[in-house]
Amino acid sequence: MICDMFVCQQEMLKKLAQTIDKVDEDRYHAEAKVKKTDKEIEDLKMKVVEIHCIKKPALKKVRMSADAMLAALLGTKHKASMDFRANLKEVKKEVKEEEEVGDWRKNVDERSGMDGRMKKFQSA
């Protein structure tokens, strides 16, 4: 009877030791994974700092014709020549006719009184 209890206790201790070993192994793997990701994060942070520290030169404005721009975009494969200015509509300025400015005193004299007021309504 004492032997059975002793054997039972040994089996329980073995199972407990196996469980402890498994948990310890999982903990070790989790720590290794965390260390690896921490290192990757630090490397990426360093790359970001390096990228921000590099000063880019100011771009210069370059004048290009439409043909040169098409050649640069399409390369030597397509030799298309387009005249963009030919497709534009012509806009003509409207000439505004200005009335001659006369003597304002004459206009006041003509429009004074009832006759002048009637002329205003009739001309409109």
The per-residue pLDDT for range 77-86, each reduced to its tens digit, is 655 566 667 7
Q: Which of 53, 55, 51, 54 is nearest to 43 (CA)?
A: 51
**Regarding predicted confidence, which is higher, 1 or 27?**
27
Residue tagged 């806009």 (tokens): 91
Q: Which residues contact 110 (CB under 8 A, 6 or more apart)?
A: 116, 119
Radius of gyration of the chain measured on its C-alpha atoms: 48
Q: What is the mean pLDDT of residues 7-17?
A: 93
| pTM score, whole prediction | 0.36
Q: Where are the domains of the chain?
A: 1-55, 62-94
- Of 33, 10, 34, 30, nearest to 22 by C-alpha is 30
* DSSP secondary structure letter of residue 63: -
